[in-house]
Structure 1
């Protein structure tokens, strides 16, 4: 039985969970928290900085959410078509995965990190992160002109759903990006994503800038 170590409110844990849910892949979820020190110790020892999520598949440990999804695609694909079979098409999917991780999730987390500093937060860094998100939104609006969303879950949806869910809490998607706003709504209606949203709902009070009363 696969084991996934993470937290229900973690964006990157969501990314792995969406792939598992979409593939209807059996797994055990190992919660991270003060009441589960043994889970934290397992994660801390698995990767250079001890970050989660962590997938344990027998004797194999896989960290980094994208690598976890690649591992699932190769070994436990189930019902989900996480990556195209064609290597050229797969390379394009991986590129968009990097866009959501680096240019949406990255700035969002940078803003959250500053809020965690409390009174010591650097507003200039928050403003810079917000500016980066706005620029990424504009690029994604153009990309969506040629990308047709579907109910199929791929690596793109696994990356896009948590990134856009939380980024929109930091910088709401503007009216100038209607395709992106519609794509976020589409993602949040997918059953695999709905499960993540609902499982994370009890932890919204932990969102440092304050979670909006929506979604």
Structure 2
């Protein structure tokens, strides 16, 4: 099997890649990395010295690809499946990439800011930074609510890279900054959760929920 994915099932950017792999039934060897374990971290660093996941190694082509969006683009070019997650049309692809960047840059990292503040030692919390992160997420929700199609997926009728990014970002963001007051986002998120690829990702991450510092909503069964 030429493809090896270095990842953790609870990490949102890793989940994004897993959704893409599951969508197309792409075979790969999973290598679960625990960054808190020195040996596991060293295994990842040997492949990608920055020791950030996800990372895809393609033994057949002798290449290493970091970063979730780059990995999904690489898979589409070299290991295409039945679902093209990035459209061939340049204008459509630009829109998909825009939504992908929206979730990756304006939702996911701000959720991380809120969550990691809970792990800071006493006296080193950043309440102002947390409030700023929440405000930025709320501002992004308003933009998403405005521009989301009333049905289907982020960029229309086809499930794309944008939806791979949206699913885990919204999963965690809804815990930190609930979006129940946004009906289009709520309906879209329900469609994402019903997608078999994301449902599988949620199930595989379930054993690690005990390590999450925020309270799980009752709807997250």
TM-score scaled to structure 2, two decimals? 0.90
Q: In the alignment, which residue of structure 1 is the partner of 2:63?
A: 60
Unaligned runs of 5+ in 2: none
1:1-215 pair list within 5 angstroms: 1=1, 2-33=3-34, 39-47=40-48, 49-58=50-59, 59-119=62-122, 120-145=124-149, 148-149=152-153, 152-175=158-181, 177-215=182-220
Deviation at 1:147, TM superposition (A): 6.8
Deviation at 1:209, TM superposition (A): 2.4
Deviation at 1:34, TM superposition (A): 7.0
C-alpha distance in 2 between matches for 1:79 and 1:110: 36
Unaligned runs of 5+ in 1: none
Q: Structure 1 runs of 4+ off > 6 angstroms?
A: none
1:116-167 CA-to-partner distances (Å, cap 9, x unmatched) read 2143321111111111111110000011147732784310111000000000
Q: Secondary structure at the match of 2:107?
A: helix
1:160-186 CA-to-partner distances (Å, cap 9, x unmatched) read 0000000001011032x1000111111
Deviation at 1:92, TM superposition (A): 1.4
CA contact (8 A) 1:4 1:54 kept: yes
Change in CA separation of 1:13 and 1:131 when aligned onto 2, cut-off 3 Å = same
TM-score scaled to structure 1, two decimals? 0.92
Q: Secondary structure at the match of 1:4?
A: strand
C-alpha distance in 2 between matches for 1:112 and 1:17: 22
1:35-61 CA-to-partner distances (Å, cap 9, x unmatched) read 975553232244453200110111111
1:10-50 CA-to-partner distances (Å, cap 9, x unmatched) read 10100100000001101111011279755532322444532
Aligned residues: 214
